[in-house]
C-alpha cells in the first residue's frame, strides 16, 4: 500500500514538472568566455535581467552563447561593453577581464531593422543605425534636442544611417573621428571605429 502511494505521488510530481513550460524552468543561460590560446570558462547567467558578478580573472577575447531569444550584456574591467544577442560568438575589444553580466529574454521585435528601412522618429527621438563589418549592426535612439548621448556598443562602425529628414546628427568615434549625417543619408566612418557619443538636432 505504501509503495503504491509513493509511486502515485512520484507520477503526479513528474506529470506536474513536465507540464511547466521550458522557458519557465530554464531561467539561466550558459555563457562561454574565451581567452587567449582557447583558455575558457562557462558561467550560468539568470535571464531575469539581474546583474551578476563574474569572478574569473581570465582576460577575455570572445563571449559566446548558444541560446536563441536571449540578449546578454557584459562589462569589462577596462569599461568594455559587449552585447551577445541570441546565438552569437562576439569579440571583446580590447580583450579584458569581464566583471559583470546580465541577460534577458527578448521579445519577437528585437531583430535589427534591415539596411535602408530605418524607422522614423518616435516623438522627439531619431533612430540611427550603426553598421559594422559583414552588416553587423545596432540601432540607437537619440533625442532631437541636441543633447549628447553616450553610445555603449563596442562594435567597430563603418557606416552610419538615419532615415529621418530635416535632422542633422554628429557622432564622435573612439579614435577621434567626427561623422555628420544630414537627413536620410548613409555616411561612411573613416577610418572605421567604435562610436562613443552622438547628438541629433
The share of the chain scoring above pLDDT 90, in percent, equals 60
Pick from 21-25, 104-108, 138-142 the range whose average pLDDT is largest: 138-142
Quote the Cα angle for 99-194-119, to 5°. Answer: 105
Burial of 19 from C-beta contacts in 10 A (0-12 / 13-18 / 19+): exposed
Contact 54, 33 (CB under 8 A): yes
Checking if the pLDDT of 133 tops 50, the result is yes
What pLDDT does residue 140 have?
92
Contact 82, 36 (CB under 8 A): no
Domain map (residue ranges) of the chain? 26-105, 125-200
Checking if the pLDDT of 21 tops 70, the result is no
Give 83-89's long-range contacts (Cβ < 8 A, gap of 24+). Answer: 83/138, 83/153, 84/31, 85/110, 88/64, 89/62, 89/63, 89/64
Checking if the pLDDT of 20 tops 50, the result is no
- For 43-87, the pLDDT digits (tens) are 999 999 999 999 999 999 999 999 999 999 999 998 888 999 899
What pLDDT does residue 2 have?
56
Contact 99, 85 (CB under 8 A): no
Q: For 48-102, where are the alpha helices, taking DSSP H only?
A: none
- In the beta sheet, which residues pair with residue 187? 160
Cell triple for 53: 558578478
| Beta pairing class for 28-34 and 59-65 | antiparallel
- For 82-108, the pLDDT digits (tens) are 999 899 999 998 899 999 999 999 863
Question: Is the pTM higher than 0.95?
Answer: no
The CATH fold of domain 26-105: Gamma-B Crystallin; domain 1 (2.60.20)
Amino acid at each position: 500500500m505504501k509503495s503504491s502511494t509513493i509511486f502515485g505521488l512520484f507520477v503526479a510530481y513528474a506529470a506536474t514538472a513536465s507540464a511547466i513550460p521550458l522557458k519557465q524552468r530554464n531561467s539561466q543561460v550558459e555563457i562561454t568566455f574565451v581567452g587567449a590560446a582557447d583558455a575558457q570558462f562557462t558561467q550560468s547567467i539568470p535571464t531575469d535581467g539581474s546583474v551578476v558578478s563574474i569572478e574569473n580573472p581570465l582576460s577575455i577575447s570572445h563571449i559566446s552563447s548558444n541560446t536563441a531569444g536571449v540578449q546578454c550584456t557584459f562589462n569589462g574591467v577596462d569599461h568594455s561593453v559587449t552585447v551577445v544577442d541570441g546565438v552569437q560568438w562576439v569579440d571583446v575589444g580590447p580583450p579584458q577581464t569581464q566583471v559583470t553580466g546580465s541577460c534577458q529574454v527578448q521579445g519577437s521585435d528585437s531583430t535589427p531593422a534591415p539596411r535602408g528601412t530605418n524607422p522614423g522618429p518616435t516623438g522627439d527621438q531619431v533612430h540611427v543605425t550603426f553598421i559594422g563589418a559583414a552588416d553587423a549592426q545596432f540601432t540607437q535612439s537619440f533625442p532631437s534636442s541636441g543633447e549628447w548621448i553616450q553610445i555603449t556598443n563596442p562594435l567597430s562602425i563603418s557606416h552610419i544611417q538615419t532615415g529621418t529628414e530635416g535632422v542633422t546628427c554628429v557622432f564622435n568615434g573612439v579614435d577621434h573621428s567626427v561623422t555628420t549625417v544630414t537627413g536620410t543619408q548613409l555616411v561612411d566612418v573613416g577610418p572605421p571605429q567604435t562610436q562613443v557619443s552622438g547628438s541629433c538636432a
